[in-house]
Amino acid sequence: MYRERLELTDRVAVVTGGSRGIGLAVVTALVEFGARVVIADVLDDLGAEAAASFPDDRVSYVHLDVTDETAVAAVFAEVAERQGSVDILVTSAGIANHQPSLELERETWDRVMAVNATGTFWCAREAARRMGARGGSIVAIGSMSGELANAPQRQAAYNASKGAVHLAVKSLAIEFAEQNIRVNAVAPGYVGTELTKQGVPGEWWDDWVRRTPMGRLGAPEEIGSLVAFLASDAASYMTGSVVLIDGGYAAW
């Protein structure tokens, strides 16, 4: 009974930002539980390569800039037509920025918010439209930085964008509940990915590990496992939750 509730056999999932890092780990987890997955990303070469690495055509790739509202609508319409449904959405597309606020330019602020927050909203809305009355599961990749201003990096734009994602998740969970669409967020701590490493001095890594009670960075696969659970019927009474997975960082 319980094992069956974790299965995602033949459910159709869209994973934005699924070409690498946490997104690719999510794709792998969903496939292992039986889902068919569409990677939606702007990294065409990496995305196509990632999709081709899975057997039996379980994974396909489509180009998608999540900041383009029109493109988002078109991609979800295409996926629903080709695959027959959209049952799961995971919004993993994201960018980071480390910069003192007094030096932050409007263009950078707008870009971070557009990808991380607005893009999540566009995709969630279109997924809900395709899920309709039969329901589904939306899982946003947030961040512990949406719950606290972590040190030593200065990243007001990133923190604000992830905080917006978390509150949007709660709001959408209330709105979509009548359609049996569950909306949750996963809020990772420090995870060893290429996005995490971008522009980060080595001493920051040491500091992050020191501040994390478990004494290490997380692995993308650990995030993928949690997302697969939230996408499944094993989490059928969970909606509007922001689940921290941070090695205890926020417990101090």
Q: What DSSP character marks residue 24?
A: H
Q: How would DSSP label each residue in 153-221?
A: ---HHHHHHHHHHHHHHHHHHHHHGGGTEEEEEEEE-SB-SHHHHTT--HHHHHHHHHHSTTSS-B-HH
Report d(CA 219, CA 225) in Å as an integer: 10
Residues designated catalytic: 158
Report d(CA 241, CA 91) in Å as an integer: 15
* H or E stretch at 120: helix 119-131
